[in-house]
Amino acid sequence: MIDAQALARALNDEKPHTPDHLATRLGVPRTSIIRGIERLRSMAIEIKETREGYCLTRRLDLLDAQSIFQAIDERARAVIDAIEVLSEVDSTSAHLMRAGANGAVTGQVCLAERQTEGRGRRGRTWVSPFAANIYMSLLWRLKRSSVNPGRLTTGIAVALVEALTSLGAKEIALKWPNDVLWQRRKLGGVLVERAGEASGRVYFVIGVGLNVLMPDRYVPKIDQPWTDLSIVMNGAAPSRNTVAARLLDATIATLESHEQGGREDLERMWRIYDCNLGRPVALHTPQGCERGVAMGIDADGRLLMKCGGVLRAFTCGEISLRSGA
């Protein structure tokens, strides 16, 4: 089967190309080009057919490893071992989990144009169409023996909001513990997963997902209120390579800060972006439903809620506004 990314890149000059020309250029049979065109169309890529050949109806914003590497800051360049951009993968995080189990070194970055089994928190599916959004994961081996996952997750979430704000996005907010929102609609999120090798060495895979330009065809598959960066920025979102670079910078800066104990202003910054701060909420946990007022997070990244006049801290759960709030 022809690589979808390679075919999309060949078509991305917005000029018509005959199947024979594409076959020669990509070194595949003509029939593979025909099947590849149909496959791209099935993934919501609009391709028109004229007398001169196949042509994209609009230029695609394709990911490029070299462009991302050139756009990241010096601190990130110093610690990244490799940036890999895949045409398709089950999940960028699952891909790096496998790499970590096989001894991959720290600083491996994986992005994909499409995920077939993209996942979010609590086993949710992350809708991941081709050449539309950012699906990115980073493998990291922390030097510290003890790591606070809650503080790490909330720290990265804050850093992602700061990165998006620096790109010109406004009114970006957070929902505990890892959701990035705009006007209470899901824009992106972070998922921190921990694993260990047989040798006993522990590593983390940090997955970052961000909706950039969601195709209309995929909207019915999304099971919650959502948005994308194009909507947030009124059609003026930066290129996906630029956005990926800024999110990668933010993630690495947080990881390096975590090695030193984490940012001192985490609780304060979370309160600035917390969409539920001071609101009546319900927290659904495996033990049941807790009701109270959201009061931000503590130094460990735990959710603080005032329940019946008592301030309590929670490490897990699904938070929502209470009905009528």
Spatial separation of the C-alpha atoms in residues 28 and 110, rounded to whole Å: 27
> Is 35 a residue of the active site?
no
H helix or E strand, kind and range, residue 250: helix 240-259
CB 26 within 8 A of CB 10: yes
- What is the C-alpha separation between 245 and 181, in angstroms, rounded? 20
Provide the terminal-to-terminal Cα distance of the chain, rounded to the nearest Å.
Answer: 53
Q: Among 121, 141, 185, 271, which one carries the catalytic annotation?
A: 121
Is 121 noted as a catalytic residue in this protein? yes
Do the beta carbons of residue 88 and residue 116 sit within 8 Å? yes
Could you say which of 114, 186, 240, 302 is catalytic? 186
Query: Per DSSP, what are the bridge partners of residue 109?
Result: 83, 138
Query: For residue 300, with 0-12 CB atoms within 10 Å meaning exposed, 13-18 middle and 19 or more buried, which class applies?
Result: middle
Is 322 labeled as catalytic in the residue annotation?
Answer: yes
Buried b (16+ CB within 10 A) or exposed e, 61-71: bbbbeebbbeb
Write out the catalytic residue numbers. Answer: 121, 186, 322
